[in-house]
Amino acid sequence: MGGLNDVSNSMRTRRQFIYGMACSAGIVATGCEHTTERGQPGADSGPADITLRIGPVLVDIAKDHTISTIGYNGGVPGPLIRLREGVTVTVDLFNDTDTSEFVHWHGQVIPADVDGAEEEKSLVVPPHGHLRYRLTPQPSGARFVHTHVMPMSDLSRGTYTGQFAFVHIEPKDNPGRYDQEFFLATHEWEPFFTTAEMEEEEPDAEQREKKAEQKDEKPNGWEIGYQRFTINGRCLGYGEPVRVKTGERVLFHFLNASATENIKLALPGHQFQVVGLDGNRVPRPQTVEVLELGTAERIDAVVEMRNPGVWILGTPMDDDRKNGMGIVVEYAGKSGAPRWIAPAKKAWDYTIFGESRAAPKPDEVIPLVFGKINGGTGQFNRWTVNGKGFDPKAEPQRLRKGKRYRLVFDNQTDDAHPVHLHRNSFELTSVHGKATAGIMKDVVLVKGFKKVEADFTPSMDGLTLFHCHQQLHMDYGFKLLFNVA
């Protein structure tokens, strides 16, 4: 196993990481004990394995530029939480804010009560309160933890804040060889409402045609813009660089911890060997120049350091990079201004990492058509799945444990949607008409007017939320609830 490095907040030391220790190995938590009153010991007293304290935090994102936000344990990102697959831990959540919080364990297959989503009737972390429960981490790989509240029009809450932290679930067997490991999370700050629509990429002929066919009664409503962009809470050039040596194999764990942005990342003069998507090893690791991550997506990529110098690992979007979206990669013994070279434009294609066989036939196909109702200038757009916005009173869609379901994500809007399924991983079976197999994910970015298909077999009963991970889309209707029995 390689050395461990974290380049956030003035180089934390290993001691400051939170380790989940085995306190009751072999016991699988099916329920949970919890306390909701401050200072009341639960049925299971004694120190917890994992403690997250939700509270105000100041983040020095650049020289003489400090953000006031809410975070975990006084830092942004929160602490790196290392867990072991199948080893049950006790979790303490303290909330030092005036509002209820949900702490969502993204990408884990765990019971609904501890998953951390209101729609799933998960346990709440009350304002100025405490919640304790036990959870058994699975599956292994790069996961994360983040708030799951719905801030609606309040840009000082929800995923607009600094409430996110890496969760790394150690596999029973260790993945490939590497010399150093870095965890890097992207996040944007100082959000504002704007009518300016950011084109993420040039629409193709099909997308232009479909857009022209849609005759909207109203113009597009609010979008979100940002002033500042960071990796691990630091603007480009302000934080500690990623320090490497010639010849090293460096494993990067990237996390898009944005509330609303889908991003691309490149490291000029180097290639990323993508070995994992959303923490799951891909069938066919491939080398690419540019990574793309929808909101909440993770990529594990190995970079061979064979081009000595000082480089910028950052977004190809010039304005966003100038406003901070990047980090310096510095070879030992090299100095000078970091270099950026714009990468060639090439569309991201999930299927190059998959197997080119057809996936097994599903037991049932569930079409999910994404729609948008324009809000008009100065208003919020509404989002629909199969023609309806989320209705908390509606009966959840029933699913059976052990059956293989095919979700057909049919995006009939011009926006890209990073859609997420809670408490399950799904297997991509078709991306934009191309068949694939073996790629396991929990978020997939469905581009405007495109279709993606993904299969999953629920293994645990209970409520399971499906939603767009773009905060504004989720808050304004883009959600659907399943009930597995």
Q: Which residues bind Cu ion (CB under 5 A)?
A: 417, 468, 470, 473
Measured distance CA(372)–CA(412) in Å, rounded = 8
CB nearer to Cu ion: pick between 96 and 197:
197
Give min distance, CB of 155 to Cu ion, in A: 17
Classify strands 451-456 and 18-19 as parallel, antiparallel or unpaired: unpaired
Q: Where are the alpha helices (DSSP H) in 83-162?
A: 112-115
CB nearer to Cu ion: pick between 296 and 329:
296
Give min distance, CB of 482 to Cu ion, in A: 18
Give min distance, CB of 292 to Cu ion, in A: 15
Measured distance CA(118)–CA(120) in Å, rounded = 5
Query: Are the C-beta atoms of 431 and 455 separated by less than 8 Å?
Result: no
Give min distance, CB of 91 to Cu ion, in A: 29
Which run of H or E residues covers position 26? none
Give min distance, CB of 231 to Cu ion, in A: 23
CB nearer to Cu ion: pick between 186 and 411:
411
Which run of H or E residues covers position 475? helix 471-475
Give min distance, CB of 442 to Cu ion, in A: 15
CB nearer to Cu ion: pick between 168 and 473:
473
Give min distance, CB of 470 to Cu ion, in A: 4
- Cα four-point dihedral sign 388, 120, 137, 361: negative
Walk across the sheet containing 141-147 and list its strands.
18-19, 81-84, 164-170, 141-147, 103-106
CB nearer to Cu ion: pick between 210 and 249:
210
Radius of gyration of the chain (CA): 21
Measured distance CA(411)–CA(388) in Å, rounded = 14
User: Cis omega before residue 77 (within 30°)?
Assistant: yes
Measured distance CA(237)–CA(389) in Å, rounded = 42
- Give first-to-last CA distance, the chain, whole Å: 40
Which amino acid, 299? I
Q: How far is CA 360 from the centre of its chain?
A: 28
CB nearer to Cu ion: pick between 132 and 148:
148
Task: State residue 475 phi and psi, 5-degree precision.
Answer: -65, -30
Give min distance, CB of 417 to Cu ion, in A: 3
Give min distance, CB of 145 to Cu ion, in A: 21
Q: Look at the block and give the residue holding tokens 């999930």.
A: 350
